[in-house]
Amino acid sequence: MGNVLGIIAEYNPFHNGHLYHLIESKKITNSDFSIAVMSGNFTQRGDVSIVDKWEKAQMAINNGIDLVLELPTLYAISSAENFASGAIKLLNSLGIVDYLSFGSECNDISVLSEVADVLANEPKEYKTLLSHELSRGVSFPKARERALMMYLNDVRRYANILSTPNNILGIEYLKALKKQKSRIHPVTIKREGSAYNDNTPPINSRFASATAIRNLCQSVDDITPLQKFVPESTFDILEENIKKGNFVKNLSAFDKEIIYSLRKMSVEEISNLSGVSEGLEFSLKNAANQCNSVVELLSITKSKRYTQTRLQRILLCSILGITQRDMDLSISTTPYVRVLGFNDKGQELISEISNRNRKIEIITSVKKFIDKKSNPNLKSMINKDIWATDVYTLGFEYESKANLDYTHKLIIKKLPMGTPISG
Task: Establish if 421 belongs to a structural domain.
Answer: no
Q: Looking at the domain assignment, is residue 419 inside a domain?
A: no
Average pLDDT on 103-114 reads 92
Instruction: For residue 422, name the pLDDT band (cuts at 50, 70, 90).
Output: very low
| Listed residues 329, 352, 379: the one ending a domain | 329
| Residue 214: per-residue pLDDT | 92
Reported residue count of the chain is 423
pLDDT attached to residue 202 = 62
pLDDT band for position 345 (cuts 50, 70, 90): very high
Residue 181 is assigned to a structural domain of this protein = no
Higher pLDDT: 142 or 273? It is 273
Q: Quick one: average pLDDT of 67-79?
A: 97
Same domain (yes/no): 49, 69: yes
| Range scoring the smallest mean pLDDT among 209-213, 234-238, 263-267 | 209-213
Q: What is the pLDDT of residue 56?
A: 98
Residue 159 domain-assigned? yes
- For residue range 123-171, list pLDDT tens digits in order: 999 999 999 999 988 888 889 989 998 998 887 788 778 888 899 999 9
Whole-number pLDDT of residue 163: 82
Residue 177 lies in a domain: no
Q: Model-level pTM greater than 0.85?
A: yes
Q: Do the beta carbons of residue 350 and residue 81 sit within 8 Å?
A: no
32 and 100 co-located in one domain: yes
Residue 421 has pLDDT above 50, yes or no: no
Which residues form the domain of 279? 251-329
Q: Is the pLDDT of residue 263 over 50?
A: yes
Confidence of residue 307 (pLDDT cuts 50, 70, 90): confident
Asked whether residue 97 falls in the same domain as residue 23, the answer is yes
CATH number, domain of 378, equals 3.40.50
User: 26 and 99 in one domain?
Assistant: yes
End residue of a domain, out of 268, 301, 329? 329
Residue 208, domain member (yes or no): no
- Whether 308 and 346 map to the same domain: the answer is no
The mean predicted confidence, pLDDT, of the chain is 92
Assess whether 63 and 138 both reside in one domain: no
pLDDT at 365: 95
Whether residue 338 is found in the same domain as residue 273 = no
Is the pLDDT assigned to residue 194 strictly greater than 70? no
Among 294, 329, 364, residue at a domain's last position? 329
Banded model confidence at residue 203, pLDDT cuts 50, 70, 90: low
Q: Which of 378, 364, 273 is nearest to 330 (CA)?
A: 378
Do residue 310 and residue 395 come from a single domain? Answer: no
Residue 49 and residue 134 in one domain: no
Q: What is the count of structural domains for the chain?
A: 3
Per the domain annotation, does 218 fall within a domain?
A: no
- CB burial of residue 381 (10 Å; 0-12, 13-18, 19+): buried
Quickly state the pLDDT bin for 411 (edges 50, 70, 90). Answer: very high
Mean pLDDT of all residues in 177-199: 82
121 shares a domain with 99 = no
In a domain, 190, yes or no: no
Report which of 280, 282, 284 is spatially closest to residue 297, judged by C-alpha positions: 284
Mark whether 159 and 85 lie in a shared domain.
Answer: no
The pLDDT tens digits for 287-305 are: 999 999 999 999 999 877 8
Which of the four pLDDT bands, split at 50, 70 and 90, describes residue 366?
very high
